[in-house]
Chain A
Amino acid sequence: MIKRLLIAAAALAYLGFLAVLGSSYFLGLKQASAWPPPAKAVPEKDVPKVEKNVQQLERRMTALQPKGLYIVIDTAENRLTLMSGDKPVRTAVVSCGSGVVLEEPGGKKRSWVFDTPRGEFTVKSKITNPYWVKPDWAFIEEGEKIPKGMEDRIEAGTLGDYALGFGQGYFIHGTLYTRLLGRNVTHGCVRVGDDDLKYLYKAVPIGAKIYIY
Chain B
Amino acid sequence: MKAMTKLAALAVVAAAGLAALGWAAGADRAALAKKQETLNAEYGLAKESKFYFVFDVQGRKIELRVRGMVLRTWPIESMRFWGRPDFSGSVELVKKTALKAPERIVIKPGETEAPAPSPAPAGTAAPAANAAEFQLEALELRDMPTRFGLDLDNGLHISIKSRTGDSPGLASRLRDAWRWYVGLPLRDLSASRKSQGLSELELVFADGKDPQSIYWHLFDGIKGIIL
Does the CB pair A24–B29 fall under 8 Å?
Answer: no
B interface, by DSSP: helix, strand, loop or mixed? mixed
Give min CB distance, A167 to chain B, whole Å: 14
Given contacts A20-B186, A57-B39, A183-B134, are A39 and B31 in contact (CB under 8 A)?
yes
Does the CB pair A24–B72 fall under 8 Å?
Answer: no
- Which residues from B are CB-within-8-Å of A169? none
Give min CB distance, A200 to chain B, whole Å: 16
* Per-residue interface assignment for chain A, residues 30 to 59, with 1 indicating a CB less than 8 Å from any chain B CB and 0 otherwise: 011011111111111001001101100110
Q: B205 interface residue, CB < 8 Å from A?
A: no
- Which residues from B are CB-within-8-Å of A39? 30-31, 33-34, 37
- Which residues from B are CB-within-8-Å of A100? 104-107, 114, 137-139
Does the CB pair B108–A44 fall under 8 Å?
Answer: no
- Which residues from A are CB-within-8-Å of B132? 182-183
Give min CB distance, B52 to chain A, whole Å: 11
CA distance A140 to B111 in the complex (A): 12
Does the CB pair A60–B43 fall under 8 Å?
Answer: yes
Given contacts A66-B67, A98-B138, are A24 and B39 in contact (CB under 8 A)?
no
Q: B171 interface residue, CB < 8 Å from A?
A: no
Does the CB pair A178–B107 fall under 8 Å?
Answer: no
Instruction: Choose among B86, B128, B185 the residue that contacts A25 (Cβ–Cβ < 8 A).
Output: B185
CA distance A57 to B38 in the complex (A): 10
Q: A155 interface residue, CB < 8 Å from B?
A: no
Given contacts A39-B33, A51-B32, A181-B125, are A120 and B49 in contact (CB under 8 A)?
yes
Q: A213 interface residue, CB < 8 Å from B?
A: yes
- Which residues from B are CB-within-8-Å of A178? 120, 122-125
Give min CB distance, B31 to chain A, whole Å: 7
Given contacts A62-B68, A184-B140, are A194 and B114 in contact (CB under 8 A)?
no
- Which residues from B are CB-within-8-Å of A75? 216
Give min CB distance, A100 to chain B, whole Å: 5
* Per-residue interface assignment for chain A, residues 126 to 159, with 1 indicating a CB less than 8 Å from any chain B CB and 0 otherwise: 0000000000000011110000000000000000
- Which residues from A are CB-within-8-Å of B29? 41-44, 47
Given contacts A100-B105, A211-B71, are A35 and B119 in contact (CB under 8 A)?
no
The residue of chain B having its C-beta at the shortest distance from the C-beta of A58 within the complex is: B39
29 contacts between A and B (CB under 8 A): A31-B188, A32-B81, A35-B81, A36-B88, A40-B30, A42-B33, A43-B29, A54-B39, A57-B36, A61-B68, A64-B46, A74-B72, A75-B216, A76-B216, A77-B213, A93-B128, A98-B136, A100-B104, A100-B105, A100-B114, A100-B139, A105-B108, A120-B50, A160-B122, A179-B125, A181-B131, A183-B132, A185-B117, A213-B51
Residues of chain A whose beta carbon lies under 8 Å from any beta carbon of chain B = 20-21, 23-25, 27-28, 31-32, 34-44, 47, 50-51, 53-54, 57-58, 60-62, 64-66, 72, 74-77, 86, 93, 98-105, 113, 118-120, 140-143, 160, 174-185, 193-194, 211, 213
